[in-house]
Chains A and B, each alone.
Chain A
Amino acid sequence: DIQMTQSPSTLSASVGDRVTITCRASQSISRWLAWFQQKPGKAPNLLIYDASTLESGVPSRFSGTGSGTEFTLTISSLQPDDFATYYCQQYNIYWTFGQGTKVEI
Chain B
Amino acid sequence: QVTLKESGPVVVKPTETLTLTCTVSGFSLNNTRMGVIWIRQPPGKALECLAYIFSNNEKSYSISLKSRFTISKDTSKSQVALTMTNMDPMDTATYFCARLLRRTSLSSYYYMDVWGKGTTVTVSS
Contact = CB atoms under 8 A, between A and B. Distances in A.
Are A and B genuine complex partners?
Answer: yes
Interface of A: 1, 32, 34, 42-46, 49-50, 55, 87, 89, 91-92, 94-100
A93 B111 CA distance: 11
B113 interface: yes
19 contacts: A1-B63, A32-B109, A42-B117, A43-B98, A43-B116, A43-B118, A44-B112, A46-B111, A46-B112, A46-B115, A49-B113, A50-B103, A89-B111, A91-B111, A92-B109, A95-B49, A95-B52, A95-B112, A100-B46
Measured as residues with beta carbon below 8 angstroms from the partner, the interface class of chain B is 20 to 34
Nearest to A95: B49
Contact of A34 (B46, B111, B114, B118): B111
Interface of B: 37, 46-49, 52, 60, 63, 96, 98, 103, 109-118
A97 B111 contact: no
Q: Of residues A1, A46, A87, A92, which shows the largest number of chain B Cβ atoms within 10 Å of its Cβ?
A: A46
A89 B15 CA distance: 31
For the complex of A and B, the 6 pairs showing the least CB-CB separation, nearest first, are A43-B115, A97-B47, A49-B111, A95-B49, A99-B46, A34-B111
B115 A55 contact: no
A39 to B, nearest CB: 12
Given A1-B63, A95-B37, A98-B46, A44 B115 contact: yes
Given A46-B112, A92-B109, A87 B46 contact: yes
Contacts of B48: 97
